């Protein structure tokens, strides 16, 4: 298995500053890379509220893959190549150094130029100049972190991606569907209701979210525009309406309906409203998700006696069972490379539910979570290296994350109430 690296929790949009989520790293990579992010030089009259270098430093530290040197432990704070003495950084056993200059161009407009250096080879690896307003500086910082991460690991960074999740107050009388930055900052509530909200799912363009709302008249599936808040009712059939999942092109939605008496998988074209029934079996079929090719759907089915994962070709109708290890396997999500299947796994009846990954190429199943219990709702990062899921920890409902190789773990509790139902967003356009 290729070596997998974490990149911090990456959550979305907007202008709310107070962070609802907190990140508690519980396990990092033992062979983390020593790196220094020198405090950026600032040229301007008004100092921004947040330092770009601080955000980059926090991103890389949270990734679990880097060991970031604190500025107070640095021998110097260079801002140009002329002031960069590689022997000082070798003395500190640093492998890489990042330095930058931030310049105020005009009121509320900034330019950030940064450089990444290889200490031992004494050469520049990366340089880039970015611009942004004061409200965009956090986005700029995440882009810098993404570029550094990809340069040093070979894997596309995902600090700029987003996560949706559901929070509830302690009394469970109010349910919020929220999005936020990777560090929990700029949280924005996009939907607040007295009704329970389930199964948020991102559209590939990152502009829409599908979800289930359990209203007085029953469950309903909606698609909501994130920017405008406008929502569209997709399914309100009699019985169960649940588990929406967008197709890779964003034009279709797979979901579970029981309108004909038994839970089955259906696909609806969001443009034409043409419905296609995918499964037809007396066993319960639910929790659909798409393969990257858009031609196959994976889903949970009880047709073998216990919940297991199946894959169906929408063109040929060919059906195959994918999971055989364990008493219970459900809520499968596939990494973008199509190789690793992440799911909820119960080894034996009565045992704990944990997150596991199944290598579809080699047929090997690996338990990823062990510090939490009642694990559910796994969601895979868009670069396929991290899994976020809901869990119970210290009698609270929290989010947790683990790398697909199990090397990096962190907990993401909410400051107020419970948090659950995570959905990792796509790469920003």
CA separation for the pair 293, 381 (Å, rounded): 18
Residue 280 has φ and ψ, to the nearest 5°, of -155, 90
Q: Which pLDDT score is estimated for 5? A: 33
**DSSP conformation letters of 292-344:** TTSSEEEEEE-TTSS-EEEEEETTT--EEE---SSSEEEEEEE-TTSSEEEEE
CA separation for the pair 62, 390 (Å, rounded): 19
Q: Where are the beta strands (DSSP E) in 195-295?
A: 196-202, 208-215, 218-225, 231-235, 241-246, 252-257, 264-269, 275-277, 285-290
Asked if residue 50 lies in contact with residue 40, where contact means CB atoms within 8 angstroms, the answer is no
Average pLDDT of the chain, as a whole number: 89
Confidence label for 22 from pLDDT (cuts 50, 70 and 90): low
Q: 215-247 as b/e, with b when 16 or more CB fall inside 10 Å?
A: eeeebbbbbbebeeeebeebbebeebbbbbbbb
Burial group, residue 87, by CB count within 10 angstroms (0-12, 13-18, 19+): exposed
List residues bridging with 241 in a β-sheet: 257
**What stretch of H or E contains 55?**
helix 52-62
pLDDT digits over 23-46, tens only? Answer: 666 676 667 899 999 999 999 887
pLDDT digits over 319-351, tens only? Answer: 999 999 999 999 999 887 788 899 999 999 999
**What stretch of H or E contains 91?**
helix 86-91
* Cα→Cα distances 415→28, 159, 419, Å: 23, 22, 9
What is the mean predicted confidence (pLDDT) over 45-51? 80
CA separation for the pair 353, 349 (Å, rounded): 10
Q: Which pLDDT score is estimated for 418? A: 86
Q: Is the predicted pLDDT of residue 415 greater than 80, yes or no?
A: no
Q: Which pLDDT score is estimated for 160? A: 94
User: In degrees to the nearest 10, what's the CA dihedral of 299, 232, 176, 187?
Assistant: 100
Say which residues have a Cβ less than 8 Å from residue 61's Cβ, sequence separation at least 6.
67, 68
- Domains, the chain, ordered by start: 32-153 (3.40.50.10070), 163-424 (2.120.10.30)
pLDDT digits over 85-139, tens only? Answer: 999 999 999 999 999 999 999 888 999 999 999 999 999 999 999 999 989 999 9
Q: Give the closest residue to 357 by CA, choosing from 293, 407, 318, 294.
A: 407
Q: Which pLDDT score is estimated for 265? A: 97
Confidence label for 358 from pLDDT (cuts 50, 70 and 90): very high
pLDDT digits over 204-254, tens only? Answer: 999 999 999 999 999 999 999 999 999 999 999 999 999 999 999 999 999
């Amino acid at each position: 298995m290729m070596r997998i690296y974490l990149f911090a929790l990456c959550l979305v949009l907007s202008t709310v500053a107070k962070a609802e989520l907190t990140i508690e790293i519980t396990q990092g990579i033992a062979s983390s890379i020593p790196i220094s992010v020198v405090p950026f030089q600032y040229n301007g009259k008004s100092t921004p509220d947040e330092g770009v270098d601080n955000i980059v430093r926090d991103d890389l530290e949270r990734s679990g893959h880097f060991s970031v040197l604190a500025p107070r432990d640095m021998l110097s704070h260079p801002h140009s190549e002329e002031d960069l003495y590689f022997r000082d950084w070798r003395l500190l056993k640093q492998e890489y150094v990042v330095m930058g200059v931030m310049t105020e161009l005009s009121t509320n407009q900034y330019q950030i130029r940064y450089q990444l250096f290889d200490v031992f080879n004494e050469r520049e690896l990366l340089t880039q100049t970015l611009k942004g307003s004061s409200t965009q500086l956090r986005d700029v910082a995440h882009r810098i972190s993404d570029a550094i991460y990809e340069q040093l690991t070979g894997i596309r960074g995902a600090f700029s991606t987003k996560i949706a999740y559901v929070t509830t107050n302690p009394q469970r009388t109010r349910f919020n569907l929220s999005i936020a930055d990777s560090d929990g900052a700029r949280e924005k509530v996009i939907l607040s209701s007295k009704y329970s909200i389930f199964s948020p799912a991102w559209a590939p363009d990152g502009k829409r979210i599908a979800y289930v709302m359990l209203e007085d008249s029953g469950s309903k599936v909606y698609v909501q525009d994130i920017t405008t808040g406008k929502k569209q009712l997709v399914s309100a059939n009699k019985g169960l309406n649940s588990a929406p999942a967008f197709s890779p092109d964003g034009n279709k939605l797979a979901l579970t309906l029981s309108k004909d008496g038994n839970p089955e998988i259906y696909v609806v074209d969001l443009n034409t409203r043409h419905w296609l029934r995918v499964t037809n079996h007396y066993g319960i079929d639910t929790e659909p998700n798409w393969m990257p090719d858009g031609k196959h759907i994976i889903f949970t089915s009880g047709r073998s006696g216990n919940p297991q994962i199946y894959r169906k070709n929408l063109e040929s109708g060919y059906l195959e069972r994918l999971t055989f290890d364990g008493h219970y396997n459900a809520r499968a999500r596939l990494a973008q490379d199509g190789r690793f299947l992440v799911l909820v796994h119960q080894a034996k009846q009565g045992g704990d539910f944990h997150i596991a990954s199944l290598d579809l190429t080699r047929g090997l199943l690996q338990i990823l979570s062990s510090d939490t219990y009642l694990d559910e709702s796994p969601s895979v990062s868009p670069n396929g290296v991290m899994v976020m899921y809901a869990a119970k920890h210290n009698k609270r409902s929290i989010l947790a994350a683990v790398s697909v190789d199990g090397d990096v773990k962190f907990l993401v509790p909410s400051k107020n109430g419970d948090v659950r139902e995570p959905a990792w967003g796509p790469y920003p356009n």
